Each structure stands twice: as C-alpha cells, then as structure tokens.
Amino acid sequence: MNLPNLYLADLPPEAVLTPSLVRDACIAVKRNRAVWLAERPTQELVELLAYAAERWMTPDNGFRRLALQQGPVDLGMGSATLSRGLDAFLRHLSVESLNALITQDLGDARRLDEFSAPAGELRQGRTSLVQGPELLVHVAAGHLPSSSLMALVLGVLTKSAQFFKLSARCSVIPRLFAHSLADLEPKLGRCLELAVWPGGTEALESALWEQADCIRVEGSDEAVDAIRSRAGTRARFIGHGHRLSFGFVGREVLSGYMARKVAGRVAADVTAWNQLGCLSPHVIYVEEKGGVSPEGFAEMLSEAMADREQSEPRGELDVEEGAAIRSRRSLHELRARRHLQDREGAETVPRGAFFEAPGQGTRVWGSAGSTAWTVIYEDDLAFRPSCLNRFIYVKPCEDPQRMLQAAEVVRGRVSTVGVAAAEGRMQDLARGLARWGVARVCPLGRMQEPPLGWRQDGRPTLGDLVTWTDLELGS
C-alpha cells in the first residue's frame, strides 16, 4: 500500500518545514472544517469512526497490515504486542461506546448538533449547545499510539479541525489512522493535519500556537510545563503530564489456583505496550498471610512473564534502554546475594545504603541471556519506579493502608491502581484509593485497557474540550 502525500508528516525526511507552511496548513484545515465538518450530524461521525475501527480490526485490512509491518520498528516493540494493544483500543470504538462517552460527558448526545437537554434540565426551562474548538492542536507523547488515536477521536466528535505535532518515535500509526479516515471520507481527511519536528522548535511552534483555539499536550511534566509557558494565554491549555500506576493483590485471592490466575493477569498488564504507558504497573503490592506468600507470588509471576515472552516477544530496545535494565538488574542481584549471605552468616561483599536497605529479602528472576523481562521481589516496601520494558517489582504489605504509606512518595501522580481482591472488598478498597487521590481503579489484567469513557487524570476527556451555551426558555 502506497500512501498519498496528504499531510506534512508524509513529506520525505529531507523536506524542510517552515512557519509559513505550518500557518497555511492551520488555515486550510480550519477552512475545510467550516465547509464540511462543523455542520455534520454527530451520529454520522460516530458511525464513521466505528466503521473505521471495525475495518482496522480485520486482519487483511491494508492500513492494519502496514501498521504491523512498520509500527514495531517505529515503537521498538514486537508485532504481537502492538497487535494486542491496537485491538484493545479499537474494540472500544463502537457506536454504543462512542454514544455513551458523549452522553456521559455532555448529558445529551444531541447537544453537539442543537440546543437540547435531558428531562431534568428541560423541567427547569434550560437547554444547552456545546461546541468544540475551531482548531484543536495536539502535542503527542512519544511512547504509545493509542493516546494519539484517542485524541483524534475526541477531535472528530467535537467537530474540530485538528493539527497533530507527533513524536518522531511514534508517528506511523497515527498517520495511518488519519489516512484510513481520509480513505473513508476525504472531506474529513482534509480537516486533519499531522507533522513531525523536534520538540522545542520555537519558530514552528509559535506559528502553531497563534492559530490554535485549544492546545492539548501529553508528555513529561517538564515538556507540558515548557509548552504551557510558551503557548501564551489565548488558547485553552489542557496538559496531561507524567503519571505512574501500581497493583494490589488481596490475601483472599492467593490460593494456589487463583494466585496463578492473578499472576497471569499481572503479566498481561506488564507486557501490554511493553509497560510504557502511564497505566502500566511499576510495583505489585501483595498482601501477606494469604495461601501463597508474596515471594511465592513473585515466582509465579516470573513463570507467567516467561510464558508471555514466548507468545508475545518484547522486541528490540535501543542501547540505552537495554543498558538501564542490565544495570538495575545487576544491582538487585548483588543485593540478593547480600541478603542471602547475611542469612547464612557468610562474609558479604557489596556495601552501601542500597544493599543495606530495610528488609532481608531480595530475589531476582529474569530472562536468560536477554533483558526481555525481569521480576524483582524485595521486602523493602518503598515504592520504586520501574525502568519499564517489562521490569516489575513485587513487594509484600500488611494491608492496603500500609501500601499507601509506602507509595506516599508518588501520591498525586498515580493514574491507575489494578486490584485483585474479593468482590466484597472492592468498594472499600476503591473508596480508600479515591480518597488517597487515585483517578482510576480497575481489575488487574485490564490496566492498559481503559473503557472509552475513562476520565484521564480524573477529568472528562471530551467535556474538557468543549464550551457551553445555555438557552433559558421563556415562560
């Protein structure tokens, strides 16, 4: 399949982008929006998005095949991992789920087309119309394509012209999805623009900020703050910075059979998107006094990780990422030796605060001859961010309160907590996590598969993009 040169991101690498090119592209997509997109019925757009997703789910779809050929090189992950991640996102893009998202955030799906209201507001004599920004600018993070695909969907639903500033490392799949929409409806394709340039290219970015009505940024805290400071105050700014996630396993699910099942679910979460998203777990806290000990659970998880590597290889990493895993794994192996020698009363070799941390238990499991996966068990409860790419910590805890005390260092920056516990405990656990500041609680095994209507960072993703006009009806 040969893609036409529809977007700036389709230009050859030697092409030079200029501020005037960026400005002209913004003006063009705004003009195209006014001519076609702004007046399209919302239901027509919902059905178009759902049909596009349905086509992508078909194995012989040309855009999907190209994504699975080029995406692994672009993202540094195996094709099976990429395929699972794409399917997890695409199966949520149904007519039912899209309409549920609109209703959830806006109260009435008709509000994007006309003044309307649910029955309760009508009884108060009030209806509302919502409108998306004329030009919605997205600055995409450099790890996962799913966040860019979701951003594109939101922009289509708000009937906005859209300009994506993509990361060079994660540009292939958003480009292909935009092309697939243009293939279905060329007029919609002309309301989109995508480009790639190094972050911090001020001349290009200034031209973009001048045209934007809303700027939506995903990335590191430093990147979000830097863009916020340069973008000015004319456009609405929505920033989603760095977040972390972790898991909790309750003692009541730690019977032999169930513990192994939960370990498989954790392995699914750790390997999804190679653990690179904000929803991926860094640490799994395992409650003590269950049928399987936390250390025993870590060993079960290592077996599940090895199985996953067989069916879903991680893929090749760059030199720096591989070195980070080898270095971290080596440190923990030394620490494990120190703890083993202490227990046996032998002379120890490694010294220093890291090796003499609280607790007398450290064990390391890892893929033989590679960095494909690593499981670290340690008694030290302190939350320790993973170096990612299938590197996971398992730690024991007395109860959920002790877990939250250990994770206090990341409080306010936690996106998701995955939980495996008895159904009767879930409400209390979720309430405690919510009060602590967690935005999303879900079953383990679904951490990287949020529903379409999930509220990123605790905010309504669609609702944050629109402005409201209320109409108060006369007597």
69-81: per-residue pLDDT in tens?
999 998 989 999 9
Q: What is the pLDDT of residue 357?
A: 47
Nearest to 436 by CA among 428, 446, 447: 428
- Model confidence pLDDT, tens digit, residues 213-251: 999 999 999 999 999 999 999 999 999 999 999 999 999
Taking the C-alpha atoms of residue 313 and residue 316, their distance in angstroms, rounded to an integer, is 9
Nearest to 92 by CA among 446, 465, 471, 472: 446
Taking the C-alpha atoms of residue 76 and residue 385, their distance in angstroms, rounded to an integer, is 21
What single letter denotes the amino acid at residue 243? R
Residue 31: partners with Cβ closer than 8 Å, 6 or more residues away: none
Q: Dig out the tokens for 368 from the structure.
A: 């033989």
In eight-state DSSP terms, residue 195 is E
Taking the C-alpha atoms of residue 455 and residue 114, their distance in angstroms, rounded to an integer, is 25
Where residue 13 falls among pLDDT bands split at 50, 70, 90?
confident
Residue 53: partners with Cβ closer than 8 Å, 6 or more residues away: 90, 91, 93, 94
Helix axes 62-75, 172-184, angle to 10 degrees: 160
Domains of the chain as residue ranges with CATH: 8-242 (3.40.605.10), 244-443 (3.40.309.10)
For range 374-386, the mean pLDDT: 96
Phi, psi of 202 (to 5 degrees): -65, -40
Taking the C-alpha atoms of residue 365 and residue 417, their distance in angstroms, rounded to an integer, is 24
In eight-state DSSP terms, residue 92 is T
Taking the C-alpha atoms of residue 36 and residue 45, their distance in angstroms, rounded to an integer, is 12
* For residue 11, pLDDT beyond 90: yes
Average pLDDT, the chain: 94
Name the helix (H) or strand (E) containing 123.
helix 119-123
Q: What is the pLDDT of residue 355?
A: 44
Q: Dig out the tokens for 15 from the structure.
A: 């092409």
* For residue 298, pLDDT beyond 90: yes
Q: What is the pLDDT of residue 350?
A: 52
Taking the C-alpha atoms of residue 216 and residue 211, their distance in angstroms, rounded to an integer, is 14
For range 274-295, the mean pLDDT: 97
Taking the C-alpha atoms of residue 214 and residue 308, their distance in angstroms, rounded to an integer, is 41
- Using DSSP, state whether 418 is helix, strand or coil: strand
Q: What is the pLDDT of residue 143?
A: 81
For range 49-70, the mean pLDDT: 97
In the chain, pLDDT over 70 holds for what percent of residues? 95
- Lowest mean pLDDT, pick from 37-46, 287-296, 337-346: 337-346
- Model confidence pLDDT, tens digit, residues 260-276: 999 999 999 999 999 99
Taking the C-alpha atoms of residue 181 and residue 187, their distance in angstroms, rounded to an integer, is 9
